[in-house]
Amino acid sequence: MSDAPATKARTAMASITFTPSGETIEVPLGTSLLDAVILCELDVPAPCAGQGRCGRCRVRVRAGDVERRSNAGLVSAEILDGWAVACQTYVTGSIEVEVPERRRETVRPHGHAIAEPESLPLTCDWRQDPAVRTFELDIEPPSLADNTSDFDRLRRALAQQHGIEEVRAELPMLRRLGKDLRMANWKVSVTLEMRDWVYDAYLPPRLIRIYPGAFRHASMGVAVDLGTTSVVAYLLDFATGRVVDSASAYNKQIACGDDVISRIIYAKRKRGLERLQHLAVETINDLLDELQKRNGIELYEIHEVTVAGNTTMTHLLLGLDPQYLRAEPYIPTISASPVLEAGELGLRANILAHVHVMPSVGSYVGGDITAGVISSGMFATDKLTLFIDIGTNGEMVLGTKDWLLSCACSAGPAFEGGGVGDGMRASPGAIEDVFIADDTLEPTFRTVDDAPAVGICGSGLIDLLGELFVTGLVDKSGHLDRSAPTDRVRVHDGVPEYVVCWAGEGGADHDIALTESDITGLIRAKAAIYAGFEVLCRSVGVDLADVEEILIGGAFGQYINIEKAIRIGLLPDQPVERFKFLGNTSAQGAYAALLCVNIRHDVLDVAAKMTYLELSADNSFMDEYTSALFLPHTDLSGFPSVLAALQKRGNGSDAPRATT
C-alpha cells in the first residue's frame, strides 16, 4: 500500500507503559525490560549491569506477556505476582510495567575530614601558587588618537600594570568585552588562568572573567575525587588558599552497576556510555550546586576544577569508550587528558573554567593513584615507601623519588561490603569495629553513627575476621569451629556462620552474621592484595621488611585497624610506626593541583615515570596469591607479631581452638 522504499525490513514493535511514572515507550520485540527501563532513564538498580547475576533489577509486569529467560532470586509467589528480573525478561508484546520506587542510602558524612594545606605531607614548594589569579586594571580609555582595539588595550594595561606581557581570550569573553569595559568606565578586575596544564610553559594566561571595579568577587576552585562509589568535592578559595567547604555524595552511576567492571559492561548498551557520562557530570553538578548555595557563591565564580579518579571513572567522565580497559591487554585511550572546559563537559562552573583531570598510569592505576602519590609526598622522598589504596581494587606503589613501580590487584567488593551476605557500605548502622571476648566468645561492636546495627562494613569485616581468628573460632584455612561453646556459631541453610548481632538487638529484622563463604571471599580479597605487595617487592629485589614507610591512602584506608588488618594478613607485619594513614589522598592530590600549579607538572612526571606491572602477565603473582590464601599466610615467619599473639592466647596456628 505504501510506496515508501522497502529497503529495510520492518521491525515489529511493542509499547511499554511504565507505572507510576506514566511514561510510554515503543521498543522492538525482543528488547529486555532493563534496556527499556534505561531508555526511559528510570531508576532501577543493576549492580551487575544486566548479567543476570545479582537479581536486583526487579520490576513488576502488571499487564501483558513477556519471555522470562531466568527468574534468578525470585520465589514462586513473586513470579505469580508479576515480578521479573528486568535484564532476563524480554518483550513479546505490549505490556505495562511497574518500576518500584527506590530508597537510597545517604552517604556517611565523614565529618568534613578535610586535609588543610598544613596537614598534607608534601615536601615540595607548592603552597598558594594557583593558576587562577585576579588583577585590578585601570585601562586608558580610547581616543581618536589612540584607537587600539579593546582587547589589545587590556593586554597593554596588563603588561604595564602587572608585568604580564601576553594574554589570550576565547569568544565568550570577547563577546562581552566591549560592553564590560565601557560599563566599568575602563576600571576592571580580570581573573586569569596564568598557566595551562600540559603546555603551560608555552601558552599565555587566559582571560576567564572580567567585572567592574576593584577585586571583590569570589574566585574559587573545586577539587573532585571521583570515586566509583563516593564522590567528594572540596571548595577552595584562591584568594586565601584555604579549603572553605566540602560535600560528598554517592556516584549516581551506581544505578548502572556497583563496580567498574559492571559499568564498563553497561557502557556497551545503547546510549549506555552517554548515560554514564551524564550521571558522572550530574553527580559532580549536584555537589557544585550544594557548595555554591551553602557558600553564597555564583556559578561563574568557580574558575577551575581538578578531578582525580580511577581510569574507568575518568574515561566515563570524558565519554571515552572504556571497553578496552576491561579486555586483555587492558589499554586505556589516554593516560593524560587534554585540558577541558567546564562548558564542554556540562559542569556547572564558569563555562570557561578549565577542568584538569589527573593523569593515569594504566587501566588499573588511575589518576586517583597519581594524585595519591603526589599528596603522600612519596614522589619526593629518599625513603623506600609503599603507598596503598585499598578499595574494590587494591592499588599499590613502591618506590622513592627516583623510581616508582605500581600494580593493581582485584580484591573484589568484599572490603566495601559487597559480596558478603550482611556486608554494607560505611553508612549509619554499619558495624565498623568488633571485639570478641576470649572467654565468652561474645562480641562487642561499634556502629557508624552509633545507629542500630544493620550490617557490617569493610573495616568491621576485617576486625571481625581478625577476632574470629585470634579467638580460634576460625582456623587458618577460614573454617569455623562448629564445636565452639557458643550458640553464635551455627549452621544456617547448610553454611556455618558466626552471628555478630541478633535480630532483636540491632536495626535489622534478621541476625547479622558472617558465613564461611563470606570468610572465603575475604581471604581471597586480602590474599590478592598481599600478593601484590610481595610481587612488587620481589620484582625490584627488596623485602617487605626493607620498606621504611607504608602509606595508606584512599577513602576506605582511614578506617582500617592496622593491627587487625595485619592479623588476617591483609597488611604486612611491620612495626605500627611505619604505617601512616593519609586520608583521602585522591582528593588531596586534586586539591594540591588546584592550589599549586607546579604540582600539575609533578603529577604528569609521576604518571610518566611510574612503571605499571600488569599482574596478569606476571607468573609469580598466582604463586604469591595461593600462598596468601590462609590466615594470616602460609609462611608465618613473615607474621611474627601474629604468631606471638596466637601463642600468647594459646591458639597455635594449626591447633583447634582451645576450649576455655
Provide the binding-site residues for a second copy, judged by CB under 8 A: 142-153, 168-171, 174-179, 182, 198-199, 202-204, 318-321, 323-324, 328-335, 338, 340, 344, 362-363, 612, 614, 616-617
Length of the chain: 660
Residue among 335 and 471 whose Cβ is closer to a second copy: 335
DSSP state of 415: G
To a second copy, the closest distance from the beta carbon of 215 in angstroms equals 24
Cβ neighbours of residue 608 closer than 8 Å, sequence gap 6 or more: none
Residue among 146 and 505 whose Cβ is closer to a second copy: 146
To a second copy, the closest distance from the beta carbon of 5 in angstroms equals 21
Residue among 241 and 319 whose Cβ is closer to a second copy: 319
To a second copy, the closest distance from the beta carbon of 407 in angstroms equals 12
User: Is 124 exposed, middle or buried (CB count within 10 Å of its CB: 0-12, 13-18, 19+)?
Assistant: middle
Q: Which secondary structure element, helix H or strand E, spans residue 462, and what is its range?
A: helix 458-470
Q: CA-to-CA distance for 310 and 261, rounded, in angstroms?
A: 12
Residue among 138 and 548 whose Cβ is closer to a second copy: 138
**What is the identity of the amino acid at 158?**
L
To a second copy, the closest distance from the beta carbon of 410 in angstroms equals 15
To a second copy, the closest distance from the beta carbon of 173 in angstroms equals 9
Nearest residue to 107 (alpha-carbon basis) of 264, 227, 262: 227
Residue among 56 and 168 whose Cβ is closer to a second copy: 168
Cβ neighbours of residue 232 closer than 8 Å, sequence gap 6 or more: 110, 224, 225, 246, 247, 248, 287, 555, 584, 587
Specify whether the CB–CB gap between 632 and 474 falls below 8 A.
no
Torsion of the alpha carbons at 504, 507, 509 and 512, rounded to the nearest 10: -80
Contacts 24+ apart (CB under 8 A), 383-387: 383/548, 383/549, 384/542, 384/546, 384/547, 384/548, 384/549, 385/547, 385/548, 385/549, 385/550, 385/551, 386/533, 386/536, 386/544, 386/547, 386/549, 386/550, 386/551, 387/551, 387/553, 387/585
Q: Which residue has the cell 589522598?
A: 585
Residue 491 neighbours by CB distance under 10 Å: 12
To a second copy, the closest distance from the beta carbon of 568 in angstroms equals 30
Q: CA-to-CA distance for 563 and 113, rounded, in angstroms?
A: 23
To a second copy, the closest distance from the beta carbon of 319 in angstroms equals 6
To a second copy, the closest distance from the beta carbon of 596 in angstroms equals 23
Residue among 87 and 536 whose Cβ is closer to a second copy: 536
Residue among 333 and 520 whose Cβ is closer to a second copy: 333
Residue among 73 and 319 whose Cβ is closer to a second copy: 319
To a second copy, the closest distance from the beta carbon of 621 in angstroms equals 12
Residue among 268 and 490 whose Cβ is closer to a second copy: 268
